[in-house]
Amino acid sequence: MRLPAGRLTRPALIYAGAVGCGWIGSLINLPLPWMIGALVFSTVLSLSGVAVRVPAVTRPVGQIVIAGSVGMAFTPAALESLAQMVGPMVLAALATLAAGFVVAWALTRMAAVDAITASLASIPMGPVESANLARRYGVAPGPVIFTQTLRIMTLVLLIPPAVLAFNGGIHGADSALRAMHWTAPGAALLLVLAVAGAFLTKAVRLSNPFFLGPLAASAAASAAGLPVTAVPYWMLAGAQVLLGVWLGAAMDRDLFRRAGGFVAAAVASTLLMIVLCVAMALAMAAATGSAWSTMVLAFAPGSVTEMALTAKMLQADIALVTAFHLVRIFIILPTAPLFTRWVAWLVRPQS
């Protein structure tokens, strides 16, 4: 299949198709319709051999819009209630890390991969961070990138529809997002602060700056009582399309070809990780009295942006869901080089 190769024509056609699939998703009441529709469209194109090349800036733009919107949930009352959940958040992060090692062990049994590759593929990190560690420790980054990308895609495609379906159906799934109050000055102020937060976070070289920076800036503005408001729905929908196309573009035919016979094992290990995290989420819900749907979104091993948006649709505790993810990120990412070194120390003397 060929698309016109013009510098602007090809991206325009890709985004037009993605918007069309998102519109179909909204008609059939999919949760995150614009993201899931765009993701499916982009993935199908990529796997059919079409080079889905989109401007690199599209992902940061999508992240800034959504993170700024999510950060408004961090009101003073929400922050006060979060203080009582610090222990469960840390426990959840450590339990997710442990589950990652269990899945890594299973992956070494299902596929002919070493322990370092299996660990970097199974523990929830970003594809970029895990690939960098793979190169540092001399293992092939291809299987690692494939599994990490597959996990994120699977979470986006499975968790929001499943949670909404088990929570009473998905009729008018995005009505809560459409109903958010916004004003032009309030939305403009939110976006200005979100962009400033993104570039400040990038300047100090924190991980995932285009999500964490806008989130922190928006949360600070909300907690301080500044006159920020949500952004209009069309802007949230557009951000979903940008992220969906970007994620689908990562799952190209070459990535599948390099993964080879590893694909089936990667799918099985991804599903195992999700099942373990759902089980831990239900246990945490029973122990803390939190809503099961909130905990399932909070324990999802990745995709904080999408899980927070799903919480918004359910009118659940967005701040709690996001905080669980942030604690996991800030525990796992800084320690990833340490546990990779530990795994290398364990296996290398035996080889």
**Greater model confidence, 295 or 146:** 295
Cβ distance 159 to 298 under 8 Å? no
Looking at the predicted structure, is the pLDDT value of residue 75 above 60? Answer: yes
The Cα 35–Cα 31 span in angstroms is 9
pLDDT one-digit tens code per residue, 2-46: 555 556 778 888 999 999 999 999 888 888 889 999 999 998 998
pLDDT in the model for residue 183: 93
Q: pLDDT grade, residue 101 (50/70/90)?
A: very high
Alpha helices per DSSP H over the chain: 9-27, 33-47, 58-71, 76-83, 86-110, 115-122, 127-136, 141-166, 175-178, 184-203, 209-223, 233-250, 253-259, 262-288, 292-299, 304-314, 318-347
Average pLDDT over residues 148-158: 90
Average pLDDT over residues 53-77: 88
Per cent of the chain over pLDDT 70 is 94
Helix (H, G, I), strand (E, B) or coil at 98: helix
pLDDT in the model for residue 86: 92
Residue closest to 214 by CA, chosen among 192, 229, 234, 230: 192
Mean pLDDT of the chain: 87
The Cα 20–Cα 11 span in angstroms is 14
Average pLDDT over residues 184-211: 91
Tokens 């092939």 appear where? 140
pLDDT one-digit tens code per residue, 214-267: 999 999 998 888 999 989 999 999 999 999 998 888 777 777 777 677 888 999
Helix (H, G, I), strand (E, B) or coil at 57: coil
Looking at the predicted structure, is the pLDDT value of residue 350 above 60? Answer: no
Cβ distance 25 to 34 under 8 Å? yes
pLDDT in the model for residue 283: 97
Radius of gyration of the chain (CA): 20
- Dump the DSSP string for 124-160: ---HHHHHHHHHHTT--HHHHHHHHHHHHHHHHHHHH
Highest mean pLDDT among 29-38, 75-84, 85-94: 85-94
Q: pLDDT grade, residue 94 (50/70/90)?
A: very high
**Beta carbons within 10 angstroms of residue 75's beta carbon:** 14
Q: pLDDT grade, residue 112 (50/70/90)?
A: confident
pLDDT in the model for residue 351: 44
The Cα 195–Cα 198 span in angstroms is 5
List CB contacts of 26: < 8 A, sequence separation 6 or more. Answer: 33, 34, 37, 174
pLDDT one-digit tens code per residue, 214-224: 999 999 998 88
pLDDT one-digit tens code per residue, 316-342: 888 899 899 989 988 888 888 888 888
The Cα 276–Cα 208 span in angstroms is 25
pLDDT in the model for residue 349: 57
Cα 285 from chain centroid (whole Å): 22
153, amino acid identity = M
Average pLDDT over residues 127-155: 86
Q: pLDDT grade, residue 139 (50/70/90)?
A: confident
What global pTM score does this model have? 0.84
Looking at the predicted structure, is the pLDDT value of residue 97 above 80? Answer: yes
